Amino acid sequence: VHADQTLFRGLSWKEEDEAELFSEKMRQAKSKFRFARKQWQTVRKSDEADRKAHGPQTLDEHLKEQYDHIPPEGVEGAAFAQKRPGRITTKKTFDLEENNMSEEGGLLDLSHRGNSTTRKLLVSNSNQITEHCHAAGLWAKGFNGKGIKVALFDTGISLTHPHFKKIKGRTNWTNENTLNDGLGHGSFVAGVIASQSEECKGFADEAEIYTYRVFTNEQVSYTSWFLDAFNYAIVMKPDVLNLSIGGPDYLDFPFVQKVNEVTASGIIMVSAIGNDGPHFGTLNNPADQMDVIGVGGIDYGDRIAGFSSRGMTTHELPYGYGRVKPDIMAYGQQVFGSRNTGGCRALSGTSVASPVVAGAVTLLASTVPANKRKQILNPASMKQALVHGTSPIKQHGMSIMEQGNGKLDLMGAYSILKNYQPHASAIPAAWTLHRECSNNYWWPYCKQKMYADAQPLILNTTIVNGMGVVGWFKGPPEWVPGEHGDYLDVQYRYSERLWPWSGFLGLYLRIKSEASSFNGKVSGYVQFIIVSPPGEGELVNRESLVKVPIEVSVIPTPARERRILFDIYHNIRYPPTYIPRDNIDIKNDMLDWHADHPHTNYHDMFNNILTAGYYMEMLTSPFTCFDAKQYGALVMVDPEEEYHPDEVEKLAHDIKNEGLGLVLFAEWYNIDLMVSLKFFDDNTRSWWTPPVGGANVPGLNDLLRPYGIQLGDEHLMGTAKIGTMANIPFKSGANIANFPKGGTLLQGNFHTGRSSYSNRSPAHTSYPFMGWVQPKDHTGRIAIYGDSNCLDSSHATGSGGCTNLLDGMIKYVNSGVMQPAISGGAVPLVQPYTNGAQPPMRRQDVDMTGVFKTDKNVKPVCGVNDNVGTLNEVPASRGTQGDMVASSFTLADLPVVKEEVLHLDTSVRPSEGVSVEEHEVRQAEEEEEEMSQSEEAPSLTDPHEIAEAARKEHDPRIIGPLTVPNMKDHAPLNNVRASVADAIAHHAVERTHERERERAQVYSHEEAVPSHQEAVPEYAVPSYEQHELPQQIQVPKEDQDIDF
């Protein structure tokens, strides 16, 4: 197994002068053995009864059982999915580009644009990060971090490290028996924040340092370790918390909700945005959360680092649109900090940029007088000071999705914080899309001008509330028209409660039909009032008026054949379920998690297709929700979702009667290959296996069946030779199995790998991979290509040539004429084509419950309110990973909780015209009726019945069949903790374990296998005591003396 097959990343940093201790082959061997040994040890930690029942199994037998199908050394690639132990994280700085230094020793620019890389020698007069950030201006005023407590969730630190004055507390939450930093990451992060060394001076050397060791020396961590450490941090109440870690799983609910709880307690959390740049849609969690300050990286030339992850957030897709992130950029390349043994060194990565901001935050916090900190300092006020005090990035052409709100300006933030009064504000503060498009800052919003009768332009605005941890909109937002503002129709969706410290405001902008010939600027602003409870010593609610200016450019509505509708509604990506990568050759990223959106990993395609003269709109709802007469083509790329029968019928009608064209870029689907992609995740203690391949071919075949078209299950690799066009890499694509008479097919020679690359066919075989047809008696046309990777900027396999292919396919469905550059060598069909094989079937060995949002028994729903949401509003039909169930609710809660997780208002109000007394009588009668029904209802003991009952009650936290993460092994509490905190933390941990044991009793013995994981072998299922389910729930009566 090659080292680059370790696909899940840990910490985000790189040591430039790391000594080479072993040869590459020795590294590979050690990596393979450690991974195998860890898996074996995890699986063998079953109870003694299971062990006896299944008999002894040696490590050699386990290795043979698990790794027999891995190709030998020298064979390129492997379909087998390997995951390093611990919580899923992404690229660490160890994995950043090698050779970051020039031969002359100077710093190199690694800025990336699209698929190109440029390298320039940068000039830097100093490696002192504090000089670049002008920290001396605040030091001169007497501020140095004194009185501020900083928590570092990292790899620990040595108590005797010479660079630090005030190491006040160290705790260890791992399974290693040490508090020290054996890796060097934690020491470096601490040094950037608080080092007193003149060689690598930190921002705030008088700050108090508290280290929480949550990563081992092998860079492994678990969700359960973080939960314990977070609980302890809440008790200890640090002012600032730095997390130089990240991962793609924003649906790791226990982790995400605990982060919310940490910030709700007033702790300012700073986190690295990730090292998965220059690709878009690669923001890491928790930095992508609204209540966390997410930090990207730049170099000393004010250029965005090539490794820095790009926006937008993908929580909200495919229902609407993501938010702007990162929040702020800071120096993250060749930054000097402390070694774990003393001395200094230079490192790069966004987890270097994160402590730069955390150090600045610590220094800024110390500028607030101690007697006012409680009233002024909180996660929202600090984010407002940082974001609204930024300075622009000097690098031309960098969009808001790349640079966020700009570069850290320490003195600018200080000037805001010095005169700060609690208020609410918006991020971005204004959407001036008309004014600032020349420098590409507002890409992708201003890349395409607005016009009448289009899909809505969605602006997902973050509301930051410095007045309190909880707030709400006093009333609906109001559109105040400016210049030609009456042409703009503005709809809203917003958080019912802003918690913690923040919420969202979704703005849906449409140009009215009466402006179909208008050409010019439309402007105005949206205004609203945010309300929070009174502050300390106050008697009335706090209120803040917020105005968000909007400017857009409008053009006359384009002709139908120039308008393209891009389907994002039917795209699924990790983490709602385990969706494998589209290109199996990409061994360093096994998950499809970049959102498959024209503004993320398809951004080059988006730019190129607009340059070709088209207009692309996003479909965020089912096929039943758009008017086909408005569009020349519906474009589908790599769809994984299912299709409602009404959608199949509607699309058939549109193609037959309305002249709609369908352009499809498909992907591979092969059950043998999917089975080989399973892996054991020791964080959730379960096997994960994908429910679909690169695309949902069985679902697509349902959609294509009315036209006599079917895709096959061959997994094709090679090069597509299309007419006179340049050859296009064909990576993990699908073959065409059936095609109707009158159509045209292109065939090519490919090799196949039906289960893994060790079984890849050595010889090339001819397969149809592209076809186009106008079905008989239809006014519309269809064009299909078997692979989507050439459109994917993340894989960089030649999107330019593939954009020309897409252009040609769109022109065909509009005109009926395929360009000669494409049609050369194609074969017209005088008889229907079939390869005689059975069409691929859906997986029968996994439970698909919760994988797809499409419920074929429920009519599709349209409407603006279905489009935009936040993390806590992901529809209850979506699947998730096993560890999401370790949240703080019990089995008794499952069937009855209906409110969204963040909604605080659970009261029941009297209806209009009903007195309080009448309301109480009705409520009592309803409660009595519910109690009688619960007594008559049969007791639910089957786990599927319980989960189904919970779903029927629309509990947003119950997404699918649940499993229990392995949280039995926790590091002992350290003796440096206070006795009271020790007792509280123990109680919290034990209560968490108790709840998990209750859930484990119900959910650990499911007969069906969840879609994102296979059943754990019996010997790996934990054994817990049996607990009876509660038969009824006593509901306390509502207080009537409180204004709810």
Cβ-contact 727, 706 below 8 angstroms = no
Cβ-contact 187, 161 below 8 angstroms = yes
Catalytic residue among 46, 187, 244, 351: 351
Catalytic residue among 154, 654, 807, 883: 154
Cβ-contact 27, 3 below 8 angstroms = yes
- Residues whose CB is less than 8 angstroms from the CB of residue 772 and which lie 6 or more positions away in sequence, other chains included: 743, 744, 781, 782, 783, 784, 809, 812, 813, 818
Residue entry with tokens 């966004």: 350
Closest CA to 390 of 275, 296, 469, 468: 296
- Torsional sign, CA 5, 11, 12, 18: negative
Cβ-contact 669, 734 below 8 angstroms = yes
Closest CA to 461 of 503, 509, 522, 406: 503
Q: What are phi and psi of 364, to 5 degrees?
A: -65, -40
Pair of tokens at residue 45: 């930690």
Cβ-contact 242, 216 below 8 angstroms = no
Measured between alpha carbons, how far is 838 from 833 in angstroms, rounded to an integer? 14
Any catalytic annotation for residue 31?
no
Measured between alpha carbons, how far is 765 from 835 in angstroms, rounded to an integer? 13
Long-range own/partner contacts, residues 176-180 (CB < 8 A, 24 or more apart): 176/216, 176/217, 178/213, 179/211, 179/213, 179/974, 180/156, 180/340
Measured between alpha carbons, how far is 204 from 414 in angstroms, rounded to an integer? 15
Cβ-contact 934, 990 below 8 angstroms = no
Cβ-contact 226, 262 below 8 angstroms = no
Any catalytic annotation for residue 185?
yes
Any catalytic annotation for residue 351?
yes
Closest CA to 822 of 751, 768, 766, 771: 771
Residue entry with tokens 């022109």: 811
Burial of 1042 (0-12, 13-18, 19+ CB in 10 A): exposed
Measured between alpha carbons, how far is 973 from 989 in angstroms, rounded to an integer? 11
Measured between alpha carbons, how far is 583 from 82 in angstroms, rounded to an integer? 16
C-beta atoms surrounding 545 within 10 Å: 11
Closest CA to 13 of 256, 212, 239, 192: 192
- Residues whose CB is less than 8 angstroms from the CB of residue 196 and which lie 6 or more positions away in sequence, other chains included: 163, 164, 165, 202, 205
Measured between alpha carbons, how far is 683 from 401 in angstroms, rounded to an integer? 32
Catalytic residue among 2, 132, 161, 185: 185
Report the catalytic residues: 154, 185, 351
